[in-house]
Structure 1
Amino acid sequence: MAPAGWFDTPSGYGRISRGFHWLMAALFAWHFAGALLFVSIGDTAITRFVGGTHFTMGFTLFVLVLLRGVWGLINLKRRPPHPGRLGRAAVAGHLLIYALMVIVPGLALLRQYGSGDPFSPYGIPVMPARGNRIEWMMVPADLLHYWLGFTLLVVVLGHAAMAVLHRILWKEDVLGRMT
């Protein structure tokens, strides 16, 4: 059972960690739904509706992952332990998720800056318009953003599947620590 407090404890995650986790899960679900719709049915009204938030949502998720990472570091010594070989695998899986959650939008932001186009999520001017393109900044995202984004989706689905497997196979309520 997760603790009722704000901070994490060895028995579960606190309100802030759980809030970050489930808010980001919902936003990623929306984000990936738009990407999957676009890949499967192309440019339609529904994909424009769902996918129209892609840039702003990606930026939001990037900010949230940075905040979540800082919060996780603050709570590192308090968090539930991950003992043994499976625990080390869980830690590696979480590190992979975090790395991809930083790299995928980081590449998109690099491409956005390189494009010279303005970027103002929520009306906040993050990148002003410039008259020139910087091609080398656009190339990494052109090559990797799509594939790493879908790699992130697969890893996140694996993360969810492992929570279910822990419950079914090992009778461990790891999901209960985050709910």
Structure 2
Amino acid sequence: MRSTPWRDTPERYGLVSRGFHWGMAALFAWQFAGALLYVGIGDTAVTRLVGGSHFTLGFTLLVLALLRGLWGVANLKRRPRHPGRHGRAAVIGHGAIYALMIVIPSLALLRQYGSGKPFTPYGLPLMPGRDSKIEWMMIPADLFHYWLGFTLLIVVMGHALMSVLHRRLWKENVLARMA
């Protein structure tokens, strides 16, 4: 049996890239489940169970997105190529996913800081509480966090759909590079 490389190769993504991809996919599934439950059934015990980790999980996903981005840049010359028109579309789609994975939780962190409420993910005192609010810091997330979150969900669903279309229509097994 051939050993699986940790780093990416031109033929497939390595263990670290695949770990980031599928681990983050699972965390995003939980994150989106909580958001969809909240929109669908409102504030209930089930929503609080699934959505109760939303702030901490969003912070975790931001850190993972940054680490994943650094890992991707470090492996850029070794990664599988995305040739042609479909490849350019894939690069744009991946860029949109990365941008949204960074912007959405960053807006939430800005809102959290502006709210004056403490933020202690995993017990780490990231933001101390204070008595006053900073309204201008809360406005961008109030306006965009929700909508950009659902935009990310749609883009991620399109990402998954494209792997199926590549397999079925164009007979390219691009999923095998990440599976």
TM-score (norm 2): 0.98
List runs of 5+ in structure 2 lacking aligned partners.
none
Deviations 1:142-164 (A, max 9, x none): 00000000000000000000001
* Equivalent runs, 1:131-146 vs 2, <5 Å: 131-146=131-146
Aligned equivalents of 2:112, 2:72: Cα separation in 1:
28
How big is the alpha-carbon RMSD for the aligned residues of Structure 1 and Structure 2? 0.7
Deviations 1:28-52 (A, max 9, x none): 0000000000100111110000000
Deviations 1:68-120 (A, max 9, x none): 00000000111000111110000000000000000000000000010111000
Aligned equivalents of 2:168, 2:83: Cα separation in 1:
19
* Equivalent runs, 1:1-179 vs 2, <5 Å: 4-179=4-179
Amino acid in the other structure paired with 1:117: K
Aligned length: 177
TM-score (norm 1): 0.98
Amino acid in the other structure paired with 1:122: Y
Aligned equivalents of 1:44, 1:130: Cα separation in 2:
29
> What SS does the aligned partner of 1:133 have?
coil
Q: Give runs of ≥4 in structure 1 deviating > 2 Å.
A: none
Aligned equivalents of 1:160, 1:125: Cα separation in 2:
36
Cα deviation for residue 27 of structure 1 reads 0.2
Name the % identity.
73
